[in-house]
Amino acid sequence: MYPPPLARFIMMKNRTDVVRMCVTTPCELRKCQRIAQTMTYKVTPRKEWFCQLATTTEQCLFWAERGWTDTVMARENKIFVAVDKFNVTSFAYEKNKNAPTEIEKKVQNITLALTMSISNINTFHQLMGRKICSAGVNITSAFITPVCNLIYKDVMLATGDVVESSADFFGKMCVPGILNKTFDKNETYPEKLTTGCHNMETKYTGIEGSFKCIKSGHGEVMFVDSKVVKELNDRYVNVFKLVCEDESLPLSEWEQTKCHLGYTPRPVLFLNPERNVTYKTELKEIILEAGKMKTPTVDLFNSSDYVCVKEAPKDLIFMDENTKLEFLEDPFSIPAVQEYMKVFNTCQALTPKPRAKICTTTPVQYQKCITMKKVFQTDIELRNISWGCVLARTEMDCMRNVLNGTADLYSGDVKEIFTAGNDFQLQPMMIQDENLRFQKSLFHNATVKSYTIAVMKKSKFWKKFGEDTKVVNIRNLTVCSPDIKSVPNFHLPIGHLLSTGVIPRIGSVFESVSRFYKSVCLPGAAPVDWTWDSDLILGHEVNWGIPGLSFYNFTGFDWFIWNSPHTWTFYNMNRKTPGTLKEFMKNRMLIPLLEGKLTVPEGFNPDTFDYSILDDVLSVEGLGDILNDIPDEIRDSLVDIRTKRVDRKEKFRELYEEKTGDAFVSLRDRRLGKLTLRGIFLFNLQIPPAVFPEHGR
């Protein structure tokens, strides 16, 4: 799920004299390293402290669950994630001993709803259909917490997950970052969530940004925490008011429970669950001892002394506004924290809307899908489905996306639908119909667009078959088809004739058709115009014979390489040889033989030679039939070539022996002689038995 830490930290798993702190940013790492140095050398009981850098809090919790790190700090909704998703131990929580009120001592934040004083919005129920300004989806108190609480209080109807329900409940919204792919992973959330920003998401991000959104008139309500409300109460006491359960109240009444839209627990320190009681006791003593020192190098709740490049030196590891760590067996025993867990459990259990993500293959189709998505999301019935669009490279990629779940719908022509069902296990669910049909009786033929029939000129039919013939043999006729790309005119009729056995299956589709008919006119089939991988159905024909092989990412050349052996096996079973093999034999064997580039074996007699033996020697059934059909004049010429070569060899032998007086030995005979001597030496060598006495003597 997450990559592991460095091996040296994993090897410390069973050591009780170390403390491994996990942090998530480079700036937190700086603070951690300073804390670790102080804790290791200046605080007792002594343990060796280390720092680990992860990318997210979830990764830290993942490491802690497996014993690869020891401490992890979690805030806001990460606390719920830690409790709900990971097996870690809550050890302590941050506390602010200077908090002015009792409720603030127990929770980190209280979420409240604000609106302008002149607004007619007074209660939570009146938030329905109102324009919302949020500081951002990543600020828990500005979006997730209030929405979850509205659902928990039965104010907002749960029509999907948290985001989908909020989109159906509120009017125009400005929630910066909510449509980013890191949050909207399926890309199906409605654009309504950011239309209230008016293309100014960056300007309206953060607490100050949400105030600008309200003041500009783009929004009516915003969600903030109690600390912001207290600051506003000093500066804008008559500008804003609180929206509560049954009435609106001035900002000074923020402590009233009926105005609270959720609580954020104080940050919690989670511990490696494999650590025992002794380890926990020692760690508690170390932290308490460090808290007494209050030096810049060990102040846990001070981040101002650190210089950060990409982030503000604020709330590093621990929150600056807090003052101590409170150790409890169960930090979630506090009533406000218990309610927080109940609220988030409710949101966690929400069921998302059914998804319908449409896969497209061209930019034009994709933009059309986006437009359709916007229209559907405004329809009261169609918005019950979560619509989305995805752009893929090819039709095959769309089929694969639907198969693996990254898309849900794909619209294709008849060839694509066949391939989708045959090879990608997809199920057709609806068709495009040119006619409007209002009665059920009219739907019986709605799935058929056209019928394919064979047509022949009457005079030629009567001349060939007679006027009273009902059943005809269409073999050896001349066939004309409008286009190789036409499904009704080529794919369907030829496929039907092949599947029913009318046209024998001999080789590829084209070879079978060529053997069956006298001649064929098929525009677009020339090699310069057509390739195997340009047609899904005929391209699949090339893949014939390899079950379970996904061919959608093959090139035409790959298809040929993969399929040739299997296709030949099919030919061999039927003792048929494709025309391509005949061309091969003609170009690679017969012509070289005639040109004298290949040697005919001695003793070869074309009249008595059993050519069928080549079927077994070369594992190509039908090869003997081809050679057996060679015309006599070609055979005679092959014999003449062999005879002439033998005569030339004999004349050279006689001339050599006459001039030199030595017997002529060919190079071939010399090589055989050497091999014979070597064989005699190796196999006839006798070794005296005294050299190797028998065992046991």
If you average pLDDT over residues 670-686, what whole number do you get? 45
Residue 418 lies in a domain: yes
If you average pLDDT over residues 407-427, what whole number do you get? 84
pLDDT of 550 higher than 80: no
- Cα three-residue angle 597-603-606, rounded to 5 degrees: 75
- On whether both 26 and 73 belong to a single domain, the answer is yes
Residue 142 lies in a domain: yes
The tens digit of pLDDT for each residue in 442-462 reads: 666 666 777 888 888 888 888
Residue 279 lies in a domain: yes
- On whether both 257 and 273 belong to a single domain, the answer is no
Residue 624 lies in a domain: no
If you average pLDDT over residues 277-306, what whole number do you get? 82
The tens digit of pLDDT for each residue in 146-200 reads: 999 999 999 999 999 999 999 999 999 999 999 998 889 888 999 999 999 999 9
Number of C-beta neighbours around residue 267 at 10 A: 23
Residue that terminates a domain, selected from 305, 331, 348: 348
pLDDT of 481 higher than 70: yes
Residue that terminates a domain, selected from 234, 264, 294: 264
Residue that terminates a domain, selected from 443, 458, 478: 443
- On whether both 154 and 279 belong to a single domain, the answer is no
Residues 497 and 505: beta-carbon distance below 8 Å: no
Q: How many contiguous H segments (helices) and E segments (strands) does the chain have?
A: 26, 18
Please state, in angstroms and rounded to a whole number, the distance separating the CA atoms of residues 321 and 305: 15
Residues 422 and 541: beta-carbon distance below 8 Å: no
Number of C-beta neighbours around residue 667 at 10 A: 7
- On whether both 125 and 258 belong to a single domain, the answer is yes
Which pTM was predicted?
Answer: 0.68
- On whether both 208 and 297 belong to a single domain, the answer is no
Residue 584 lies in a domain: no
The tens digit of pLDDT for each residue in 102-154 reads: 888 888 889 999 999 999 999 999 999 999 999 999 888 899 999 999 999 99
- On whether both 319 and 429 belong to a single domain, the answer is no
- On whether both 248 and 139 belong to a single domain, the answer is yes
Largest CA distance in the chain: 133
- On whether both 344 and 388 belong to a single domain, the answer is no
Number of C-beta neighbours around residue 611 at 10 A: 15
Residue 278 lies in a domain: yes
pLDDT of 297 higher than 80: no
Q: In 61-99, which positions are buried (b, 16+ CB within 10 angstroms) versus exposed (e)?
A: bbbbbbbbbbbbbbbbbbbbbbbeebebebbbbbbbeeb
* Residue indicated by tokens 């003041």: 215
Please state, in angstroms and rounded to a whole number, the distance separating the CA atoms of residues 571 and 544: 12
Q: At what angle do helices 77-85 and 335-348 cross, to 10 degrees?
A: 70
Domain extent, residue 379, equals 357-443
- On whether both 393 and 343 belong to a single domain, the answer is no
Name the pLDDT band for 578 (thresholds 50, 70, 90).
very low
- On whether both 142 and 156 belong to a single domain, the answer is yes
Query: What percent of the chain stands above pLDDT 90?
Result: 37
Residue 43 lies in a domain: yes
- On whether both 115 and 185 belong to a single domain, the answer is yes
Residue 55 lies in a domain: yes
**CATH number of 155's domain:** 3.40.190.10
- On whether both 64 and 201 belong to a single domain, the answer is no
Q: Which of 678, 594, 672, 587 is nearest to 626 (CA)?
A: 587
Domains of the chain: total: 4
Q: Which residue has the higher pLDDT, 336 or 464?
A: 464
